Chain A
């Protein structure tokens, strides 16, 4: 499987920023870094993705290290609805040439948001 390392869990307070880290030292040069999240009893939900530059959308920001070996998902003001498992996902290099189709989910980071 593609190698990503995320903390098992993190805790935040409502309305505060949250920085969710991910290490991916074996990333391939042209592969995107994807972040998904899974709210309780729901399907995975796309959050953001990026290649080299930092990215922003209405949900979050993605800060990518210059060497691309790590990235950080930033939730600017956490809400109770942001409590979920957050997955940092890279291409599955276990397959010859790497899969072009699938996302390989790890255990992710369980984010708890306190009121």
Chain B
């Protein structure tokens, strides 16, 4: 079964450093997402991406965050200058179409655990 893959599975970084989390969405999917989950808390939406641009973002997704689809297969999340509070599990996800108007499903990766020290 096709799946969303993420790398690295775990990264430890120093506060203030830049981090890039990588994802390979399912190949025929058109919509891409990043979510995060701080330990013990809810899964939170960060950003959605379609047709090479951000279609929606949350308040969490400030200027320190950026996303990119540098080629036909990868989808990346960059955190420019990490803070302690960025420590979380980051989930990449993808879907073939819009979730609500078409009833499509979102497929999530296993996550990248980011620890900022």
Residues of A within 8 A of B (CB): 30-32, 34, 38, 42-46, 49, 51, 91, 98-107
Complex Cα–Cα for A45 and B43 (A): 12
Q: Is the interface of A mostly helix, strand, loop or mixed?
A: loop
Most buried by A among B93, B103, B110: B103
> With A100-B100, A105-B43, A107-B42 known to touch, is A34 a contact of B110 (CB < 8 Å)?
no
A106 neighbours in B (Cβ, 8 Å): 42
- Asked if B75 is at the interface of the complex by the 8 Å CB criterion, the answer is no
Complex Cα–Cα for A30 and B99 (A): 12
B: interface residue count bin: 20 to 34
Q: Is the CB of B91 within 8 A of A46?
A: no
Complex Cα–Cα for A106 and B43 (A): 8
Q: How near does chain B come to A32, taking the closest CB pair, in angstroms?
A: 4
Q: Is the CB of A43 within 8 A of B56?
A: no
Q: How near does chain A come to B7, taking the closest CB pair, in angstroms?
A: 14
Closest to A102 in B: B45
Q: How near does chain B come to A80, taking the closest CB pair, in angstroms?
A: 20
**Considering the complex, which residues of chain B in the window 84-117 have a beta carbon less than 8 Å from any beta carbon of chain A?**
91, 93, 98-101, 103, 105-111
Q: A44-B108, A46-B105, A102-B58 are in contact. List 13 more A-B contacts (CB 8 A).
A: A32-B100, A43-B93, A43-B108, A43-B111, A44-B43, A49-B105, A51-B103, A100-B56, A100-B100, A101-B31, A101-B100, A102-B56, A105-B42
B108 neighbours in A (Cβ, 8 Å): 43-45
